[in-house]
Structure 1
Amino acid sequence: MASLTARWHRSIQEIPQLQWEELLAEHANPFYRWSWLEALENSGSVAPDQGWQPLHLSLWRGEDNLIAVAPLYLKGHSYGEFIFDQSFARLAGDLGLRYYPKLIGMSPVSPVEGYRFHIHPDEDAQDITVMMLQLIDEFAARNNILSCNFLYVDPLWQPLAEAAGCAGWVNHQSLWSAEDQKDFSDYLAGFNANQRRNIKRERKAVSQAGLVVTPLTGSELTPELLVRMHSFYEQHCARWGPWGSKYLQGSFFKRLVDPALAQHVVLFSAHRGDPFAPVAMSLCVQDDCHLWGRYWGSEEDIDCLHFEVCYYAPIEWALRQGLHSFDPGAGGSHKRRRGFVAQARTSLHRWYEPRMDGLIRSWLPRANGLMEEEIEAINAELPFRTKPPELMV
């Protein structure tokens, strides 16, 4: 049997696209596809001067047979993660430790559940997970790195990593699930009377402004449309000043017309006649089962337009396409009144300094219990019927 060789990569381009994709198979969402991660790197959106150094770990059987890969980044800050670890950074400072750089496993600037080590199905996933974590630990020790953090992990991979010593930290995000809904009327029927009237009023406000929302995807996308989307994205980020979370370069948006990416991109264009001349737009990402909301912007301040372009039109489209769920992105308590349920999201962590490791691990059970209570309290106040979410602690 051929021996195993580990390699570290400062660019995803060092790993053959075909072999990367063969490992992902049915496990991964579009945010872990080679084309998506390469577009982030090649556009300069994810790069050392942005505080993101790609540092992917691969495992090879023999010279040419890729059997596992871990998408990883060396981070000089905590922006673009949407898991707020300021308390960990403060603790490190109190202990006289250097918190950065840190290792991060996630799809950059995308708070999307699904992180895992991608392992060939013929390999023992538990053994390979243990081996790759040991390689990461050794790398961290050689380079005086304090922690490795896997964010928004795939619940199916989570037990393997926890069995190998990773500590779980629970946060939450919003999720709409189709359940037994077939169309937008079914969606509305799940709300109480007051919220049904409110949603109808909000949608009417957009139509009274003369706007129609049209979904565009695949071959309908044009370079000009994606440049326009980037402009909306920049305008929206600029509204929030230094807190605007502007991470993506214009060249990343231009890459989204590539067929491998365009098949997953859906633009919701709000327009007065020509969908290719929008006054507002949102960008979503889809696969065969799920929809994810990412970015939006508008050149006009129109009442309720954000709700229509970012929530109602995507939900209506998802129902027509037979999709199972819609993750609208991080933040926003207003999502809770529009069909979105609080769902647990787990991140997994390894700390390499014994004092810090011991303090955080002793704190986590209490913190996770409080998060469970918060999720239950949020969902108890929702103005619609829903099944209790499963908490994955």
Structure 2
Amino acid sequence: MPDVQWLTQWPQHLGQNTDNPFCQPSFLRALESSGVCGANGGWSPHHLHWQDEQHELALPCYAKTHSWGEYVFDWSWAHAYEQHGLPYYPKLVCAIPYTPSMGPRASAELNAPLVTDLAKAMQQETLSQDYSGCHLLFPDDATADLWSSHSDWVERRDVQFHWRNQNYRDFDDFLDRFASRKRKNLRKERRSIADQGLEMHCFEGREIDAVTLRQFYVFYHATYLKRGRHGYLTLEFFEQLLADQPDSLVLFMAFQGEEGVAAALCFRDSTTLYGRYWGCLDEFNNLHFECCYYQGIDYCIRHGLQRFDPGTQGEHKVARGFEPRITRSFHWLSRPEFQEAVERFCLEEAEMVERYREQMTEALPFKQTD
């Protein structure tokens, strides 16, 4: 029999079988030690630790008392529970907190029999803790394909917009794929940055010093304050990441003279750039596009990265060459009547998601020959 434990801290001795920056033990520990993930924030660490004769691994799991920071929107499900006088929270979620990016969800390679056991372990824990259900959010394709074989879990689909590197020589080579008018619009947006007296700088890894990081955090937090909210993440969290996994960090910062005015903090691994956090103090035309999209595309081309995942949502990315891509999540609710309703909902939603993906594909700015 395997040894199954549910831990309130990520196991120190377990690394990851991937260079995905969000799946590193240092990233998960930074969330916990900085207080971002804890009972007060509604993300109580509840990690699944599995050990048998052949495997030892962990899944990042959390007991959630709300649905903020997940980006797989289930507010209507919670409302349905409330209408029937039932609690939807807490629920068990396997995910990277505040990170709607596809990636591995286990600290070791998975296979079909092991996924069967892990899915059952999550279901059993859901029942024993009287949670409403368990959820696997934004797994990579390999994990999703294994999980999809379990008919008692419902698959839900959505669309994100990612950029793919077609072995471009430079940014102009990428723009050569665009239809003429759309190529002119994009070049006009990029020229407007210099016309406003702005200059872009890229800081990688240990080039990001403590002062620059704090400056970025002011931008990041100010963007939330403009909407009357506080940022999910703390300065301590970012400082710990800079100390523990600096090689994952890429910071694009805009300067007006000597003064920084905006920044976008990205992460990278050996194949992909991930756009994550953005902030600015003043409004400048097209600066968000330059900081969050064009600088990232330029970086991927220079460094030979295959993909740029700029974050969730945003149809405006399509006009800038980001292609629609399906994301997947999996859900199991302990009450059969709600599980059946969710399954019907997800089947209908999947048809709409596919039509939307097709529409966004047709809206791409590339020449008709592409």
**TM-score tier after normalising by the smaller chain length:** over 0.9
* Whole-angstrom CA distance in 2 between matches of 1:85 and 1:61: 34
Partner of 2:7: 9
Partner of 2:291: 309
Partner of 1:288: 270
Deviation at 1:292, TM superposition (A): 0.7
Note the alpha carbon deviations across 1:23-46, whole angstroms, 9 max, x for none: x323x5110100011111111111
Query: What SS is found at the alignment partner of 1:320?
Result: helix
* Whole-angstrom CA distance in 1 between matches of 2:7 and 2:320: 43
* Whole-angstrom CA distance in 1 between matches of 2:77 and 2:369: 34
The one of 98, 107, 132 aligned to 1:146:
132
Partner of 2:253: 269
Contact 1:190 1:385 in 2 (8 A): yes
Contact 2:94 2:135 in 1 (8 A): yes
Unaligned runs of 5+ in 2: none
Amino acid at match of 2:47: H
* Whole-angstrom CA distance in 1 between matches of 2:279 and 2:369: 32
* Whole-angstrom CA distance in 2 between matches of 1:298 and 1:104: 32
1:227-238 equivalences under 5 Å are 227-238=214-225
Contact 1:115 1:151 in 2 (8 A): no
Aligned residues: 369
Note the alpha carbon deviations across 1:229-283, whole angstroms, 9 max, x for none: 11110011111224x6x2001101111321x421010000112455xx5221110
Partner of 2:363: 381
* Whole-angstrom CA distance in 1 between matches of 2:17 and 2:263: 31
Partner of 1:50: 41
The one of 346, 349, 364 aligned to 1:364:
346
Amino acid at match of 2:281: E
1:307-346 equivalences under 5 Å are 307-346=289-328
Contact 2:154 2:342 in 1 (8 A): no
* Whole-angstrom CA distance in 2 between matches of 1:269 and 1:7: 43
The one of 76, 82, 85 aligned to 1:87:
76
Partner of 2:30: 39
Amino acid at match of 1:5: D
* Whole-angstrom CA distance in 2 between matches of 1:387 and 1:135: 50
> What is the CA RMSD across the aligned residues, in angstroms?
2.0
Identity of aligned residues (%): 30
Note the alpha carbon deviations across 1:101-129, whole angstroms, 9 max, x for none: 1111111101100143333x5xx722222
Note the alpha carbon deviations across 1:339-378, whole angstroms, 9 max, x for none: 1111110011111101001111133222211110111012
Deviation at 1:296, TM superposition (A): 1.3
The one of 194, 200, 205 aligned to 1:213:
200
1:250-269 equivalences under 5 Å are 250-258=235-243, 260-269=244-253
Contact 2:167 2:301 in 1 (8 A): no
Contact 2:66 2:90 in 1 (8 A): yes
* Whole-angstrom CA distance in 2 between matches of 1:125 and 1:327: 26
The one of 236, 248, 257 aligned to 2:233:
248
* Whole-angstrom CA distance in 2 between matches of 1:5 and 1:293: 38
Note the alpha carbon deviations across 1:369-392, whole angstroms, 9 max, x for none: 11101110122122225999xxxx
Partner of 1:114: 103
TM-score (normalizing by structure 1): 0.89
Amino acid at match of 2:50: L
Runs of 4+ with deviation above 3 angstroms: 385-388
Partner of 1:135: 121
Deviation at 1:80, TM superposition (A): 0.6
* Whole-angstrom CA distance in 1 between matches of 2:270 and 2:35: 29
Deviation at 1:54, TM superposition (A): 0.6
Unaligned runs of 5+ in 1: 389-393
* Whole-angstrom CA distance in 2 between matches of 1:73 and 1:329: 22
Query: What SS is found at the alignment partner of 2:245?
Result: helix
